[in-house]
Amino acid sequence: MISNLTILGMVFTILICFVLPLIVMMVLKIRMRAKILLFLAGISMQILFVMLLERLFVSLMARTTPAFVENDFLYPLVLSLAAGIFESLEFALVVRILRDHMDGGSRVVMFGIGHGGANAALSSGLTSMTYYSVAVIANANGKDYLTQGLSGDELTFMQGMLDYLDSSPWPFYISGIEQFALMMVYCCAAVIMWMAMTERLSRKWAGASAGMIFVFHLFMNFGNYEVLLNSLVSAALCLLIGIAAVVFTRMLYVKIEGDHPRQERMPVRRLR
């Protein structure tokens, strides 16, 4: 019997990964009149740069220099560096191409939440949905129902999933918290990159955007691989980084836009 606390953790992560980005998207669309095009651009560019290019780079590194994969410290460090490089390049390219459509912070956040939502859905959301389906079937029909007729690797894989579900429920909650914080960091990094690329800030701030992504991934990966930090401490630090990024970016944006001609139109009524 899979505990209700474990199932609730899966539901929590599913809501964070799938529902929250859609709610933010609708709020930005209705209240701030941001274009859904930017949300879709965030999804498509995340798939291109993270799911394809970044993972291809890491895979090539693993094949050519397998020693770094075996190093408990070096592997999460390289993963974090790859995230900082590829995702900041993605943000810079998107701002360059869609600059005319990004005439205010809410438009940039629309892109950021598309990127962050896609990342959350593909990296944690789908996994939680799979475990949720297994847990519901196991509770309804028994664990033997899921393992009957299986053998070899299939049986080992399914038994591994069931054993994981019988263990601590906290990894599911931690995953949701990390993805929530990561979406905040992506939105903030996108806004800072936009301000740097549009000369609201010095171009050096583009490096701060990349550094924000790198530092967050470093703490998250250290927790995931149990290097220096356990997963619970890592999740707490990631949440603090996300909150700090939002506060800092908000303060910076308000200050810069106060000195810069405001182009973003304030909403006057809801879209019909």
Tens of pLDDT, residues 157-185: 999 999 999 998 999 999 999 999 999 99
Residue 271 inside a domain? The answer is no
Residue 266 inside a domain? The answer is no
Q: CA 15 to CA 235: how far, in whole Å?
A: 18
Residue with tokens 């996300």: 242
Residue 12 inside a domain? The answer is yes
Residue 161 inside a domain? The answer is yes
How confident is the model at residue 270, as a pLDDT?
37
- For the ranges 127-141, 148-162, 186-200, 247-261, the lowest mean pLDDT is seen at 247-261
How far apart, in Å, are the Cα atoms of 13 and each of 23, 110, 121? 15, 21, 9
- What letter does residue 267 receive in the DSSP assignment? P
Residue 269 inside a domain? The answer is no
How confident is the model at residue 259, as a pLDDT?
58
Domain that holds residue 220: 4-257
Residue 194: closest CA among 92, 88, 46: 92
Residue 200 inside a domain? The answer is yes
Q: CA 193 to CA 120: how far, in whole Å?
A: 21
Tens of pLDDT, residues 15-66: 999 999 999 999 999 999 999 999 999 999 999 999 999 999 999 988 888 8
Mean per-residue pLDDT, 135-155:
91
DSSP track, 32-58:
S---HHHHHHHHHHHIIIIIIIIHHHH
Residue 268 inside a domain? The answer is no
- What letter does residue 266 receive in the DSSP assignment? P
How confident is the model at residue 227, as a pLDDT?
85
How many domains does the chain fold into? 1
Tens of pLDDT, residues 234-248: 999 999 999 999 999
Residue 264 inside a domain? The answer is no
Tens of pLDDT, residues 68-113: 788 888 899 999 999 999 999 999 999 999 988 898 899 999 999 9
